[in-house]
Amino acid sequence: MTNPLWTPNSARVAKSNMSAFMNMLEADHGVTLSNYDALHDFSVNELEKFWDSFWKFGKIVAQTKGERVIADADKMPGAKFFPDAKFNFAENMLQKRDGSNAIVFWAEDKVKRRMTWKELYDGVSRLSQALRDMGVKPGDRVAGFVPNMPETVMAMLAATAVGAVWTSCSPDFGINGVLDRFGQTEPKVLFTADGYYYNGKSHDSLGRVREIVAGLPTVEKVVILPLLSDDPIEAEIINSISLDHFIADYDAKEIEYEYTDFNHPAYIMYSSGTTGVPKCIVHSAGGVLLTQKKEHMLHCNNGLGSRVFYFTTCGWMMWNWLVAALSCQSTLVLYDGSPFAPDANILFDLADAEGVNFFGTSAKYIDALNKAEVKPINTHSLESVKVIGSTGSPLVAESFDYVYENIKKDVQLSSLSGGTDLLGCFIGGIPTKPVYRGEIQGKMLAMDVHVYDENGSSVEQEKGELVCTKPFPSMPLGFWKDEDGSRYHNAYYAEYDNIWHHGDFIEVTETGGIVVYGRSDATLNPGGVRIGTAEIYRQVESFAQVKEALVIGQDWNSDVRVVLFITLAEEAELTEDLQQAIRSHIRQQCTPRHVPAKIIAVTDIPRTKSGKITELAVRDVVHGRSVKNKESLANPEALDLYVNIAALQED
C-alpha cells in the first residue's frame, strides 16, 4: 500500500461534522462506530435509522415529518423517502436572516457584489409574491437562461417557495440548445440576464432571448436580471420586464411557503444530449435536499459560516449542488466567466480575498493549470482553503501530485463522482480518511455502491460496473413526459433487476479508495478486453507536448482498434519519436491492449457545455454516423475535424 498524500490530524477529525454525527448515532442507537468503514456499513445496512437520524442532525425543516422513513424500500425504482412529510425546499435554504453575507459574487474582475441573508430572504419574499400573483402554481415550470449570479439563486428559491419547478441552462447555450431543453418542459416564466462577461468581454443575451421566446409559446413573462446594466432594457422582447419593475409593487414580508409532498419535484435537469434530444430528469425537493445536505455537512464539512465555492455554470448540476450549501447556513461564493480572465490567478485571488473554505473546480481545470505551470503555492496564501473539490471527469494521478506540490500541501483533495442523474455523488471525499494518489477517497454514506463484473458479481480490486443496490433519496422521480416510466427504467434499471446501473467503469483499490476509468458506454473493447478511456488519458497527458487527448474504439477488421487523438502544446509536433514514446509509455504503464493503433493530431476536441469531452460523438463521426444533437456541444464545429480522416481508412 502506498503512503497517503494527506492525512487529517486528530484535532481536525474530532471537530468534524462526521465525528459529531457518529457520536449522535452511537448515542441514539446504541452502536459502536470505530471508523468511517463502520459508519458506512451502518448507513447502508440501516437505511431507515441513518436517514431518520440525519433528518435530526441536518435540522431539516418541515410542516410535518410523518412516521415513515422509507416506503417500498425494496423497490428500485419505486422507493419513497419520508412519504408522509409536508415540506418546502426554499424554506430550508432561508433559515438565516441576518446582515452577514449569504452570497459573494464575482463576474471575472468586472463585477463584485454581496447579498446578505436578509437581502436574500426579502428578495425571495417579493419575487415569490410576484410569481404567485401572476398565476405560478405548484408544479409549473420556471426556467432560467442565466449566469451564475445572486439573482439567479433568488429566482430559483422564489420559484421553489411557491412549489414551482426550476430548470436552467447557461447563457452560452445556442438558441436550438435552449429550445431542445425548455421546449420539452414548457416553462411559464423565463428568467434571463441582459448579458454576461466572458474572457474580459461583455456578451449580450437579449438578442437570443427574443428568438428563444418566439419558440416557447408557454412563456407568459420574461424577467430580466441586471448584470451588464443596473437597469436592463426590456424593449423588443414580448412580455418582458426588468426584475426591479417586476417586484416593485411588493414589500418584503414573511414568505408564504407552499408545503408539498417531500417527493414533489423541485428541479428538472438535462442530460448532455450528445446522442439525441436531452433527457429531462425530474428530481424531488426532499430527495435532493437530503442528499446534497448530507454531502455538504458530512463529506465536505461545510456548516454555519463556511464559505463554499464551486466553479460552475447554471447548465451544470454542480450549480444545484453548490446552492444547497445555503441549507447549512454557509456563504455561497459565486463566480461567473472564464477561470482564466484576466489571468490564471483569478480563482485563487477570489479564494484569498473571500476566505473560501471549500474550493471546487473541474479535473480539466486542474490539468490546465498543471500544463500552464501555474504555481499558486508561491503566489497565494490559500490559508482558508481546507478542501479542494474536483469533478466532471476522472482526476488523474499526476493532478494529485500537482495539487499537493503546486497549490497547497495541507488540504483535503476531494475528488467526487456522481452526476446529473442523481444530483449528487456515489463516491467522493471523506474528511476523516487519508487521500491516496489517483484515488477517490471512498463510497458516500448511505450509498450501497458495488463493482459488478461481467457476471453481475460484486468484486473488489477488479474493474467493473458501478452499481448501487439499495435506494437513495435523490433517485429521480422519472423523466419528463415519460408516462409509463419505460425510458427512465431503461436508463438505470434494465441492466440489473432492482439495482441502479450508473454506467461508470471503476475499481475499488486495496486502500478502499476508488479509481474511475471512464464511462461504460465509452469503454474500449479491443480483442474483447474492456479498457477505460481514463486509463489512457492518465498516461498520454503526462507528456508536456500533449495539451489534451481523446480516445475512441474504431471498428476495424472485425475487431476494435484504439485510436488516440491529441491536441498539441504550442510549438510541439507529432513526430515519429513522440508517437513511439507515447506508445512505449502506455505499454509500460498499462498493457499492450491499451496501445493505440493510430495517433492523430487535431486542433480541437469537442466538448459539452459543462466541459466534458464527447467521445461518443467523435466515435459516431469516425464511423460515418450522424451526431443527433450538436447543439449540446460548446464547440460543435470541432466535429468537422474528424470526418473522413485518411489515416483511419487504412491499416
Give the separation between CA 374 and CA 406, rounded to whole angstroms.
8
Cell triple for residue 439?
Answer: 484515488
Predicted local distance difference test score (pLDDT) of residue 524: 79
Predicted local distance difference test score (pLDDT) of residue 14: 96
Q: How far is CA 521 from CA 246, 338, 402, 525, in A?
A: 46, 30, 29, 11
**How many Cβ atoms are within 10 Å of 55's Cβ, its own excluded?**
19
> Is the pTM above the cut of 0.75?
yes
Q: Which domains does the chain carry?
A: 88-335 (3.40.50.12780), 339-415 (3.40.50.980), 523-649 (3.30.300.30)
Predicted local distance difference test score (pLDDT) of residue 394: 85
Predicted local distance difference test score (pLDDT) of residue 116: 98
List of the chain residues with pLDDT < 70: 1, 234-235, 273-276, 527-530
**How many Cβ atoms are within 10 Å of 453's Cβ, its own excluded?**
12
In DSSP terms, 191 is beta-bridged to 144, 223
Predicted local distance difference test score (pLDDT) of residue 613: 87
Buried b (16+ CB within 10 A) or exposed e, 522-545: bbbebeeebbbbbbbbbbbbebeb
Burial class of residue 105, CB neighbours in 10 A (0-12, 13-18, 19+): buried
Residue tagged 434494465 (cell numbers): 494
**How many Cβ atoms are within 10 Å of 289's Cβ, its own excluded?**
24
Q: Which of 455, 476, 474, 451 is nearest to 464 (CA)?
A: 451
Predicted local distance difference test score (pLDDT) of residue 273: 61
Residues with Cβ within 8 Å of residue 440, at least 6 apart in sequence: 395, 415, 416, 417, 427, 428, 429, 513, 514, 515, 516
Give the separation between CA 406 and CA 385, rounded to whole angstroms.
14
Give the separation between CA 610 and CA 331, rounded to whole angstroms.
24
Q: How far is CA 522 from CA 157, 439, 517, 614, in A?
A: 37, 21, 10, 9
Task: Assess contact for 446 and 47: CB atoms under 8 A.
Answer: yes
Give the separation between CA 633 and CA 638, rounded to whole angstroms.
9
For the chain, state the CA radius of gyration: 24
Number of alpha carbons in the 13 Å side-chain half-sphere of residue 254: 2
